[in-house]
């Protein structure tokens, strides 16, 4: 038994084996941060790379993310108790008028796998709800998703609402109809076309 088995379980989408593997590692005294970084975050980075290279597709990424999440559920309370460091808090949601959530959910799981604390507001989220959640949770980044061209203006409304509230937050936008040109036009801090890219972007924005 080793962290390699935990890593492999994520790669193999072995959701059923994950809780047992994590518990065994904890029982053997494996450092929690090491288990998180090498057992859960590292394979998600690998999965993201495979996706970017066209070796894996969205269903496989979802399965890997779901497997990682099983392990994370066990580690999370212990990370809190041990003062484990989070990469930062990100508020995410699908903007007002849009009920699509598969892309948002995948991005949320990938970000969680990347070590971020995720506050998921769900779908059809009003601009003021993003503002309130960012304030309440001390978020440094707000992620906005839209799948309909008709709801893209709600992204701009939300970006503006966050600025008007005087919040020191960075905004990430994405979704099928969204482009980098649109992100620049509405004053968003960054844009990603897929979930692995969102993790990279979040890491860059956190470090900036």
Domain region containing 144: 89-207
Contact (CB, 8 A) for 100 and 123: yes
pLDDT for residue 83? 45
Helix (H) or strand (E) holding 190: strand 190-191
Shared-domain flag, residues 93 and 75: no
Shared-domain flag, residues 103 and 170: yes
Shared-domain flag, residues 55 and 134: no
User: How many structural domains compose the chain?
Assistant: 2
* Residue where a domain terminates, one of 81, 110, 126: 81
Concatenated DSSP letters of 54-98:
TSS-HHHHHHHHHHHHHHHHHHHHHHHHTTPPPS-EEEEEEBTT-
Shared-domain flag, residues 99 and 196: yes
pLDDT for residue 119? 96
* Residue where a domain terminates, one of 35, 54, 81: 81
pLDDT for residue 30? 92
Shared-domain flag, residues 149 and 194: yes
* Residue where a domain terminates, one of 23, 54, 81: 81
Domain with 13 in it: what CATH number? 1.10.1240.10
Shared-domain flag, residues 64 and 144: no
Closest residue by Cα to residue 126 from 149, 104, 94, 103 = 94
Q: Among all chains, which residue has been given the structure tokens 């992204």?
A: 155
SS3 at position 166: coil
pLDDT for residue 140? 95
Contact (CB, 8 A) for 138 and 167: no
Rounded to an integer, what is the distance from CA 177 to the centroid of its chain?
20
Shared-domain flag, residues 102 and 67: no
pLDDT for residue 1? 63
Shared-domain flag, residues 110 and 169: yes
- Output b/e per residue, 110-141; b: 16+ Cβ within 10 A: bbbbbbbbbbbbebbbbbebbbebbeeeebbb
pLDDT for residue 85? 62
- pLDDT average per 10 residues of sequence, the chain (208 residues): 92 96 94 90 91 91 92 81 70 97 90 90 98 97 97 98 96 96 98 92 93
Shared-domain flag, residues 147 and 93: yes
Domain with 135 in it: what CATH number? 3.40.50.280
CA gap 175, 157 in Å, rounded: 16
Shared-domain flag, residues 18 and 61: yes
Shared-domain flag, residues 102 and 177: yes
Per residue in 19-38, pLDDT (tens digit) is 999 999 999 999 988 998 89
Shared-domain flag, residues 63 and 118: no
pLDDT for residue 77? 80
pLDDT for residue 84? 53
């Amino acid at each position: 038994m080793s962290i390699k088995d935990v890593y492999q379980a994520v790669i193999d989408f072995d959701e059923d084996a994950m809780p047992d593997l994590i518990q065994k590692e904890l029982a053997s005294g494996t450092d929690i941060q090491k288990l998180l970084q090498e057992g859960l975050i590292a394979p998600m980075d690998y999965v993201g790379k495979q996706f970017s290279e066209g070796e894996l597709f969205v269903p496989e990424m979802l399965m890997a993310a779901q497997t990682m999440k099983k392990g994370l559920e066990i580690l999370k309370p212990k990370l809190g108790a041990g003062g484990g460091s989070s990469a930062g808090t990100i508020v995410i949601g699908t903007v007002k008028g849009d009920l699509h959530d598969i892309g948002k959910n995948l991005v949320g799981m990938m970000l969680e796998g990347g070590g971020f604390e995720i506050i998921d507001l769900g779908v059809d989220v009003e601009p003021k709800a993003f503002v309130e959640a960012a304030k309440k949770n001390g978020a440094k980044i707000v992620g906005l998703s839209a799948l309909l061209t008709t709801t893209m203006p709600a992204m701009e409304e939300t970006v503006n609402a966050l600025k008007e509230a005087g919040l020191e937050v960075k905004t990430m936008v994405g979704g099928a109809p969204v482009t980098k040109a649109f992100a620049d036009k509405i004053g968003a801090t960054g844009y990603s076309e897929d979930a692995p890219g969102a993790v990279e972007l979040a890491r860059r924005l956190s470090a900036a």
